[in-house]
Chains A and B, each alone.
Chain A
Amino acid sequence: MLSLLPQLTIGAVDLVAAFLLLYGLHRMASPVTAPSGIFVAGIGMAVVVLVSFLDIFGVSAAATPVLPVNIGLAVIAIAIGGGVAWWAGKKVAMTAMPQMVAIYNGMGGGAAGAIAAVELFGRHATGMTPLTVTLLGALIGAVSFSGSLIAWAKLQSILNKPLRFPGQKIVNAAVFLITLALGVYIILLDRTGAMSSGLIYLFFGCAMIFGILMTLPIGGADMPVVISIYNACTGLAVGLEGFVLQNPALMIAGMVVGAAGLMLTLVMAKAMNRSVSNVLFSNFGDAPKHKHSDMKGSLKPTEASDAGIFMNYAAKVIIIPGYGLAAAQGQQKLYEFVKLLQSTGVDVKFAIHPVAGRMPGQMDVLLAEAGVPYDMIFQLEDINDEFANTDVALVIGANDVVNPAARTDKSSPIYGMPILNADKSKQVYVVKRGEGKGYAGIQNELFYGENCNMVYGDAAVVLTKMIEAVRGLGKAAA
């Protein structure tokens, strides 16, 4: 057992750290205070990790002989794990943020699962309640771990096609039930004291296989919701293992994230007009089963320079950026073009769909990276009524979020999803790589509309042409 002083120190620091983490999250509620929020939370984390080494004064008798080795292992693990993740996090491109969050989340789930494994292998968790909680945390953590890795592979385009086969749901359900049954069996065996290590391996194996099977059939477009769910799951697993370790800071931080992740998941699902169970079990996401050969009108291509000059003479322009813009690394060019328009008196705003990009809010981050002030960025419900009195809607690399089929076509897979009303503006320009379909794989009747012109090409190249055209005007006038 811990002697009094280290015990009190750990208790006090854990309490302070739990507060700092919550306060930090709270400060993230506004873009102004958010940077200080993560800093505050970071201090809490650093302190709590340092102080946790005071646990050396309370190790069990069995572990005392190998304590120096264990301390060394812990320091090495922190240096390697923390160092590599830190370096990767500092280097990763902003467009790759969703898969980065997925992988860090998987690590957290794996850590929670590993803690549970040590508790189980070492027979530290005994008795009905601790054992049940340990196993529950182990199950959720292991599923979150393997599921997040699959989500990462999908976002990284290592796994491109959703894997679906007949009877998949039955297989998934069977694996899940087997895992549960193994858990119950472990609890029952614990009473007789005949638990075997093989059984624990099997339990973890089944849980991880379930996480993989569960995530494989879900399409790429739904990955943000899936990551958010796994984020909540990891939080829950951490909270449960916190109870097993009798550590209130872990319990609080874990459960706060569990609830926060759940809240965020529901917000996202609502933005896509889908229920969470629909995302998880309907196996939709990028299945282009719907045929659309009956498009009225035609695609009307136009030159980038003409579109640029037209916008220069407009009174009001709303820009709808999508992932295609980020993929072309065109955000800087876009903001340069916007500043040019503003200098000639054009009123320019950005309209962001809740699921623009590969993750809710990712488009906001990508625009912020390019230097766009956040007071120019508007969310769907705040700006949607403005399209009717807007001269030009400029759609760059976005597709499904402006597809009117979501309003009218009941057979469309995106039917019911709130969309940005780009089609209501007087003129629409769509900047697109080619005539391909969107991420959801469906045709877009907006592109065929009377008021719409297509500007084909790489977003960055198109924007450069627009900038040159508008600059050319200014020179001609001078």
Chain B
Amino acid sequence: MISISGIVGLYIFMLAAFAGWIIIGRVPAILHTPLMSGSNFVHGIVVIGGILVLLNASTLTEQIIGFVAVLLGAGNAAGGYAVTERMLAMFQTSSPALKHKAHHRPRKG
């Protein structure tokens, strides 16, 4: 089993927070709604935590709450993906040439 001590945990948190800050800072304002929904999807990974505790549940209470955790987590992940994918599929450009430009020069929001 991997063992992460408090200090190592803080380092992981610090680096991850920095990465999130940088990644989102680059997203143009036009994509803010899909992005909020996309980051919402990403924390749907909580479902695997739910699976882990449910599989290890030994009492009825633990089973019920674990079931709820997986139910909600799966809803977060699946729903988040469905709406984000739908929204992003709609964005299109008027000229094919612009596709290249937009890729290299994202508008700052």
Contact = CB atoms under 8 A, between A and B. Distances in A.
A117 interface: yes
Interface stretch (A162-170, A209-217, A364-372, A470-478): A364-372
A78 to B, nearest CB: 4
A99 B32 CA distance: 15
A325 B106 CA distance: 27
Nearest to B70: A77
A254 B43 contact: yes
Interface of A: 1-2, 7, 11, 17, 21-22, 24-26, 28-35, 37-39, 41-42, 45, 48-49, 52-53, 55-56, 58-60, 62-63, 66-67, 69-71, 73-74, 76-78, 80-86, 88-90, 92, 94, 97-98, 100-101, 103-105, 107-108, 110-112, 114-115, 117-119, 121-122, 129, 197, 227-228, 231, 234-235, 238-239, 241-243, 245-264, 267-268, 352, 354, 357, 359-362, 364-365, 368-369, 371, 373-377, 379, 382
Nearest to B99: A32
A8 B34 CA distance: 34
Nearest to B13: A255
Given A38-B38, A69-B63, A375 B102 contact: yes
Chain B: interface residue count, which band? 35 or more
Nearest to A26: B23
Contacts of B29: 267, 352, 354, 360-361, 364, 379
B76 A107 contact: yes
Provide the main secondary structure of the chain A interface. helix
Nearest to A52: B48
A112 B93 CA distance: 39
B88 A89 contact: no
B3 A107 contact: no
A81 B40 contact: no
Given A41-B42, A55-B52, A114-B69, A34 B34 contact: yes
A152 to B, nearest CB: 12
Nearest to B2: A246
20 contacts: A25-B38, A26-B23, A31-B102, A38-B34, A52-B48, A59-B55, A82-B78, A89-B82, A104-B83, A118-B66, A235-B39, A241-B46, A252-B12, A253-B16, A256-B20, A260-B21, A263-B25, A360-B33, A373-B94, A379-B29
Contacts of B24: 25, 259-260, 263-264
B17 A82 contact: no
Shortest beta-carbon contacts, A-B, top 4: A89-B82, A361-B32, A85-B79, A259-B20
A238 B49 contact: yes
Contacts of A71: 55
A249 B48 contact: yes
Contact of B95 (A39, A268, A375): A375
A29 B23 contact: yes
Given A246-B1, A253-B45, 19 more contacts: A7-B1, A30-B103, A63-B58, A77-B74, A80-B71, A86-B78, A86-B81, A101-B33, A101-B80, A231-B40, A243-B13, A260-B39, A264-B35, A352-B29, A354-B32, A361-B31, A362-B33, A375-B94, A379-B107
